[in-house]
A and B are shown apart, each in its own frame.
Chain A
Amino acid sequence: MSRNAEAALLAAAAVIAAFGVTLVNLASARGMDTQVALTFLVFVLAFGGLHVAARQWAPAGSPFLLPLSALLTTIGFVEIYRLDTRLAGLQRWWIVIGATLAIVTLLALTRAGTDVIRRYRYIFLAIALLLLLLPLLPLDWGFPIRGRLVNGSRLWVAADFGFIDIQFQPGELVKVLLVGFLASYLAERQQALSMMTRRVGRFTVPEPRQVLPLAIAWTASFGVLVYQRDLGASLLLFTVFVAMVYAATGRAAYLVAGGGMFAVGAVTAWATFAHVQPRIQAWLSPFTYYETTGYQVANGLFAMGSGSLSGAGLGLGRPNLIPFAATDFIFAAVAEELGYPGSVVVLSLFGLLVAVGIGIALRSRDLFRKLLAAGLTFTLGLQAVLIVGGVVRLFPLTGITLPFMSYGGSSLVSNFVIVALLIRISHEERS
């Protein structure tokens, strides 16, 4: 597929976004208004800019990534617009900011390439850890950067410099930085980590020092769970870590060890923390606990069930009945209004995105880039599976964002950066 085809698909995404906004307007008897033009403009600017940047600075990069992420962003945006026009206005800004940062990423990597990440990996790690700790800053101290408590979780940071007041979830960026660090670290230590000489019976087992990084990651993840009360981020960080170690070494022993650690962590969390048990309740029997913990999951099911095969139609369903429809439950909202075909399209797009990202990893000759591509793709894919799996009751609800689709600036920005990195990796491997 050529860059021209990419441009055409991106233009199509912008048209779909404008068309979606028009439909929502019609459904609420608002008719044509500036929102339609504004949406079209933002999508053309954001993805057009990304497209031009890719042509300029990563011409050999994969042309599949942008159209896939653009279509997911479009579907998500239209549904957010339908749920809450105010949020959609903000989301439009985040799309512009995310695209800008992705363009900046492509530009910054033009000379040295992704090698920068390899070179400065410890700086990346330091920034990641710092960001991870930011939400734990006091809620009300003199310093203009403070932690924030939202829905019982300490995931947010509020930066209030008087002239600007923004809030963000540093955890979203942490995952990108950590994957960068890990790819670099594992590419170097691959040999040391794969060599396993110790045997217990028929099984090769890692040395204690080999398990140490895993233990550190587990501790950090568990810390996130305890101090920030963020089940999703905790699970995501640990799983991505184990997956990348496994990808680097090919040793199933790490998976087993990781699984064991996960089991211990899960049971401990379930037994110890008050905020974990309700999630399990809501997952196993949402209707028994309908009035309390099960309400959100049950209403997600009502929404998807009401959407049924044909869907209620854009703007014609009642996704507002689902708590947190624009963030955690954006998939259920789309499934209600666009019906089963809409659900299939969204899941297929994520499937294709995973396939493209993994394809880039598989074709990479350089181990670092291979691990980086695999890690970034795995992060995106796992996040999608975890949150949608939570919505459809495959897993307990973890409360993470659906990449590209959920409302949320931090998430959108980091996912756009992931796409830019994947484009850059594929460019470097082909040129």
Chain B
Amino acid sequence: MNGPIRRLALVLLVGLALVLANVTYIQTIAGTGYRDDARNRRVLLSRAAKERGAIVDRAGEVLAASGENPDEQGFLRVYPFGDLFAHPVGVSSLLFGDRSIERAYTTRLRSKQDLTISDMVAALLGRDLRPESLVLTLDAGLQRVADEAIGIQSGAIVALDPQTGAVLAYVSSPSFDPTTLLGPTAGPAGDTLVANPDEPLLDRISSATFAPGSTFKIVTTAAALELDLARPDTAFDNVTALELPGSTSTISNFDGGACGAGATVTLQTAFVRSCNTVFGQLAMDLGAGAMSQQATAFGFGLDIPFEWDVLDSVFPPPSAFENDVPALAQSGIGQRDVQATPLQMVLVVSAIANQGVIMEPYLVAQVLDANGAVVERTAPTEWQRAITPTTAQILSGLMTQVVSSGTGRSASVPGVQVAGKTGTAETGGAPHAWFVGFAPADNPTIALVVIIQNGGSAGDEATGGSVAAPIASRVFAEWLGRNP
């Protein structure tokens, strides 16, 4: 009987040998073909499926987190607030790349588990390979109010604590839903966003500059005060049109008239009413060097230290004005070649709110390990001094009057002293409506910038006072209502 049993055994062993031959073929010769097959999801998943740390706001509200992926093994990024935090938090997208905080902190948010032997050893020795998470300085409630206030208009609102530099709200409109940039449809979704003429992917706070218009008069005034060239009660000729030397062009006031009654007007009145003629004259009196120096002291032309690279704001160098005095006058009222990011402008007001010192703006308050213990805490850091405390105090007083009795009345909040400055920047089309300010004026806890691009819903009729100031009022009220 052993013969047949031997032959049966032989059949089994030949069968196993054939299986082995097939396995050998599959794992060696055909292996790379199977591995790289477009339908093999391993390559894509190995990058996508790593757990990523959560990002929460100052109160622990989750802005981004790693959720379980229902279809695949691994994780899927979840953005519970949809488009509300797309600009500050960004997105971690395989096909489209990482953006904003997701990009700046990608190595900390990523799982450290790179599956190397040294990682294994580190894990055995007790090192935590799990991703870290971030606590942002943002306030989800304030962000929502700011977002609702700006509505469908294009523009930006950025608010920070002037005493620390902690950013409280960071709204750039229009925005996008980061979730659309995840998953298999990310490619077409991204293309649609790129092609959108409203530029939803553009971060209007740090990556776009605008003519600051009359909000720049703060810088001009600061230069004059610093050099003691003028004081609030210094009188200027009250003209309906400022003739610019060496040219036929003039600077006129917003309403085309003079700056109130009388042959002269004080700097204070001109500031509160935002008269262009006086500041055009003042810029020429100061000269290109002093103007440029003061702009630089506020951060113009410098790399603003932030979570990611910020587009430099521009005040032309003195040499640019050598043969062009009219340009200097127009620069003094924030037109011509002066360009500022909203982030730059919020630093300008924060200097005034913080006794002349600009704090470095930041979004990440704390880095936490996987157990929730703080591994890093951002200490508020002084960036640079823009003006003396005295100048800051005088400007603060001027700005308070702007809101109490001047162009910025719509920014007022009952029971609180708000300081601010409006701006209506000419663009060729509908003007940009600006409001920059802080509150409460005596002990500021919030400094903000509102810009509504090209007039927003008001179009050509828009002014900083009518369009941007009311929005600022809502944001101030929300913040001060909860943080009096």
A-chain residues with CB within 8 Å of residue B2 when the two chains form the complex: 362
Closest to B2 in A: A362
Contact between chains at A351 and B16 (CB < 8 Å):
yes
Contact between chains at B42 and A321 (CB < 8 Å):
yes
Contact between chains at B42 and A306 (CB < 8 Å):
yes
Assess A389 versus B18: contact at CB under 8 Å? Given A304-B26, A304-B34, A308-B31. Answer: yes
Closest to B29 in A: A305
A-chain residues with CB within 8 Å of residue B22 when the two chains form the complex: 389, 392-394
| B28 proximal to A (CB < 8 A) | yes
Give chain A nearest CB distance to B91 CB in angstroms. 24
Give chain B nearest CB distance to A101 CB in angstroms. 25
Partner of A347, one of B19, B34, B113: B19
| B320 proximal to A (CB < 8 A) | no
Partner of B34, one of A306, A318, A361, A384: A306
Contact between chains at B28 and A340 (CB < 8 Å):
yes
Assess A248 versus B19: contact at CB under 8 Å? Given A301-B34, A308-B35, A354-B13. Answer: no
A-chain residues with CB within 8 Å of residue B30 when the two chains form the complex: 301, 305
CA A302 to CA B33, docked complex, whole Å: 9
CA A358 to CA B31, docked complex, whole Å: 34
Contact between chains at B5 and A302 (CB < 8 Å):
no
| A78 proximal to B (CB < 8 A) | no
CA A250 to CA B6, docked complex, whole Å: 11
Assess A304 versus B73: contact at CB under 8 Å? Given A318-B42, A358-B9, A382-B12. Answer: no
CA A382 to CA B34, docked complex, whole Å: 28
B-chain residues with CB within 8 Å of residue A29 when the two chains form the complex: 111, 113, 123, 129-130
Number of interface residues of B (CB under 8 A): 44
Contact between chains at A316 and B115 (CB < 8 Å):
yes
B-chain residues with CB within 8 Å of residue A377 when the two chains form the complex: 9
Partner of A389, one of B15, B27, B28: B15
Contact between chains at A321 and B31 (CB < 8 Å):
no
Number of interface residues of A (CB under 8 A): 54
Contact between chains at A302 and B39 (CB < 8 Å):
yes
Contact between chains at A304 and B23 (CB < 8 Å):
yes
A-chain residues with CB within 8 Å of residue B113 when the two chains form the complex: 27, 29
Closest to A386 in B: B15
Contact between chains at A378 and B12 (CB < 8 Å):
yes
| A307 proximal to B (CB < 8 A) | yes
Contact between chains at A392 and B8 (CB < 8 Å):
no
Contact between chains at A343 and B115 (CB < 8 Å):
no
Closest to B15 in A: A385
CA A306 to CA B27, docked complex, whole Å: 8
CA A425 to CA B375, docked complex, whole Å: 65
> B95-133: contact bitstring with A at CB < 8 Å (1 yes, 0 no)?
000000000000000010101000010011000011000
Closest to B51 in A: A29
Residues on B lying within 8 angstroms of A by beta carbon are: 1-6, 8-9, 12-13, 15-16, 18-20, 22-24, 26-28, 30-35, 37, 39-42, 45-46, 72-73, 111, 113, 115, 120, 123-124, 129-130
Q: State the 3 A-B residue pairs at the shortest beta-carbon distance, nearest first.
A: A305-B34, A385-B15, A392-B22
Q: List 11 A-B contacts (CB under 8 A).
A: A305-B35, A309-B27, A309-B28, A318-B46, A321-B41, A351-B16, A361-B5, A374-B5, A381-B12, A382-B12, A384-B16
